[in-house]
Structure 1
Amino acid sequence: QVDEILVAVQFRDNGRFPVQELLECKLNGITVIGVSTFFEREMSQIRVNSLNPNWLVFGGGFDQSGLRTAIKRIFDLASSVMLLMLTLPFMLITALCIYLEDRAPILYRQERIGLDGQPFTIYKFRSMRRDAESSGKPQWAAENDTRITRVGKIIRQLRLDELPQIFNVLKGEMSLVGPRPEREFFVKQLCVEIPYYNLRHSVKPGITGWAQVRYQYGSSVEDSLQKLQYDLYYVKNNSLFLDIIILIDTVLVVLTGKGSR
């Protein structure tokens, strides 16, 4: 007995593609799905090479409904206020440790690309030396990066360096959950090398995201491609339930140290 048919080839109008047979199967209660739908369901990601331009142009693509956006904003505000009260003691201790090791500045401000490709200033606790980019050129973070301070290594592992971004959420520039915002330098590079990269800017960037809990920490174009496919899944399927799942998974990632660098 057949319950489902997976179609793993592109549609071809040459008389050899069994459209009629597949239609009969579907009318008889057998599920017929394409490979892109299969990967989305089984891998929780959307493969870039399977995206259909016609769907993006005429089918709404990754458009966000007003109701979904409003619910997400209310959840962000309520959760951020609560999270700020809970983490304030840890933020004060983190600030003191940074100052004792490497003096000021304690906070790190940097321009990132957010919703609809608009730039904004992100806040983080400084985890690298003050001269980390003395060359003037942005650099990918590397494994065992020598620019990271001793305190920085700890707060990165515990994700404490991201806590100041709660204020970005309160200002409406970020969400608790969403694709991580990148610097304009890297966005321009990745838009050239990765198709549909800009689609991740269809929602607000987040402090944590689906890619962060599903994929290892990456520092290359190939890693960015893999993370994009998780980001696109989130952009298409984001909901309050999925946000809660990601926040729970983020806590587990912090406790295990997985993905931190």
Structure 2
Amino acid sequence: MIRQNQRFLTQIYVLVDLLCTLLMFLASYWLKFYSGWLVHYNTVPFKTYLLWGTVYSFAAILLGFYIGFYSPRRRKQFSYDILKIFQVHGLSFLGLLSMLFIAKEVHISREFLAIFIAVNVVGMIAYRYSVKLLLFRLRRKGFNKRYVLILGAGSVGRSFYDSLSQHPELGYEVMGFLDDFQTEHDPEYQHMKQILGTIDDLDEQLKKNIIDEVIIALPLKAHKKYAYIINQCEHAGVKTLIIPDFFDMLPARPFFDNFAGLPLINVRDIPLDELSNKLLKRAFDIVFSFFVILITSPIMLGVFVAIKITSPGPALFKQERMGLDRRNFNMYKFRSMHVSNPGTSDTLWTVENDPRRTRLGSFIRRTSIDELPQFFNVLAGHMSVVGPRPERPFFVEQFKEDIPKYMVKHHIRPGITGWAQTNGLRGDTSIHDRIMHDIFYIENWTFFFDLKIIVRTVTKGFVNKNAY
């Protein structure tokens, strides 16, 4: 097996990133000044462009080290790389513009700079994605392995082994288990690597085998052995990771926090608790909603008039829903049913062939046109473009007693569309399945995840057979 040294890999990454950036510079220069596709008036010599391109390249490398772009990413998803690429090259480009302003380089082509940043980001993403795929394939074939020893052959250790076995592309290989209470696995777990000895044999195993990481998967009652285990691992220069015995009670992504100098386990990692993520999502909501309202205003005006003509009563329908932090707000829709007692509409579930619907209402509900006024809710800050769908307080009180973790959805703003809806969970579908999809979205939010949901909403169409 070929085991790569992380420092060597980092040096390779830095060198190739530097070369890639310079190649993108040359490609941009050719596109602008030699391809013949663009009009150009070049009064600045090539060596000046090359100087600033080199400055930019080294600045991107230094900034990459500063924001952790070159830290180990074996366990990271590719979306993490994309985010870091935008951060590194976005900030580096702003720095380049600042330096050009200070140096009074007023004749550098602005069109070239625009081409350079676009080509650079696209090229870097393509190159990093290719590297990621190559590493996945090499690891599946047995190269670039990291060897793991699991302490504890109980349910926690076995669960970790099974999870690791499902991801061979990560390049981890379990050498075996150490356990004080078992010498071999039960018959149904014979597919797992063997139990090599007891916890007291750890020192011998670290000396005899190549071990990169030791995973502590022991029960809470064995906590007295943790100090011995950690000391042995640190003496051997091996990384130690702990899986808490109560992990099955925690959500998918808990994280460590710090309060008054003491470590705390935050049982639910919500990316949108971060101020930068909140601002990014809110800015996108405002811009996206404004353009949707602008584009669909003729449709909304036509629907407004049609409702007034075909059915007595207001064209808009407002209904109380529960939103962020369990605060209620009025959500707006185009009215699709005959006017009724508000108390009735707040406590009745819409069913197939509901007699309360108008003829026009059936059409606008099935095509989701009735949802368009909710973009005004987004502008007002009550909702987001993407998020869990809000529910009426009457039903919230019922669901929170029957559906585990139902109230978790109120940690973020509700949305017009969401991960559950794009997976067909809308209308008369399982509430439990919806909540599981909503929680997955909340714990795994990224800006690109929002874009993916919006694209799926558009490409799958707005017509929904479950929208009664």
TM range (shorter): 0.7 to 0.9
The 1:168/1:226 distance shift into structure 2, 3 A limit, reads same
The 1:247/1:134 distance shift into structure 2, 3 A limit, reads same
| Percent of aligned positions that are identical | 36
Is there any run of 5+ residues in structure 1 with no aligned partner, and where? 32-49
| Offset from partner CA, 1:208-227 (integer Å, 9 cap, x none) | 1111111332436xx11110
Give the CA RMSD over aligned residues: 3.6
Partner of residue 295 from structure 2, selected from 86, 109, 120? 86
Deviation of 1:20 (Å): 9.4
Would you say 1:172 and 2:399 are equivalent positions?
no
**Cα distance in structure 2, aligned partners of 1:141 and 1:115:** 24
Would you say 1:234 and 2:423 are equivalent positions?
no
Aligned residue for 1:101?
310
Aligned residue for 1:52?
250
Would you say 1:6 and 2:215 are equivalent positions?
no
Relative contact order, higher structure (CA 8 A, sep 6+): 1
Q: Does structure 2 conserve the Cα–Cα contact (< 8 Å) formed by 1:157 and 1:254?
A: no
**Cα distance in structure 2, aligned partners of 1:135 and 1:14:** 63
Secondary structure at 2:391 match in 1: coil
Would you say 1:113 and 2:347 are equivalent positions?
no
Aligned residue for 1:36?
none
Aligned residue for 1:247?
454
Aligned residue for 1:131?
340
The 1:84/1:136 distance shift into structure 2, 3 A limit, reads closer
The 1:72/1:134 distance shift into structure 2, 3 A limit, reads closer
Q: Using structure 2 for the length normalisation, give the TM-score.
A: 0.45
**Cα distance in structure 2, aligned partners of 1:136 and 1:211:** 24
Deviation of 1:68 (Å): 0.9
| Offset from partner CA, 1:50-94 (integer Å, 9 cap, x none) | 652794982350432111111000100110111110010000111
Q: Using structure 1 for the length normalisation, give the TM-score.
A: 0.78
**Cα distance in structure 1, aligned partners of 2:267 and 2:193:** 25
| Offset from partner CA, 1:194-220 (integer Å, 9 cap, x none) | 111110011100011111111332436
Secondary structure at 1:58 match in 2: strand
The 1:255/1:138 distance shift into structure 2, 3 A limit, reads closer
| Offset from partner CA, 1:105-126 (integer Å, 9 cap, x none) | 1111111000010111111101
Q: Does structure 1 conserve the Cα–Cα contact (< 8 Å) formed by 2:322 and 2:390?
A: yes
Is there any run of 5+ residues in structure 2 with no aligned partner, and where? 1-139, 143-159, 165-178, 186-191, 197-201, 206-210, 216-247, 256-263
Q: Does structure 2 conserve the Cα–Cα contact (< 8 Å) formed by 1:180 and 1:208?
A: yes
**Cα distance in structure 1, aligned partners of 2:358 and 2:444:** 38
Would you say 1:74 and 2:289 are equivalent positions?
no
**Cα distance in structure 2, aligned partners of 1:51 and 1:154:** 44
**Cα distance in structure 1, aligned partners of 2:406 and 2:415:** 16
**Cα distance in structure 1, aligned partners of 2:180 and 2:340:** 62
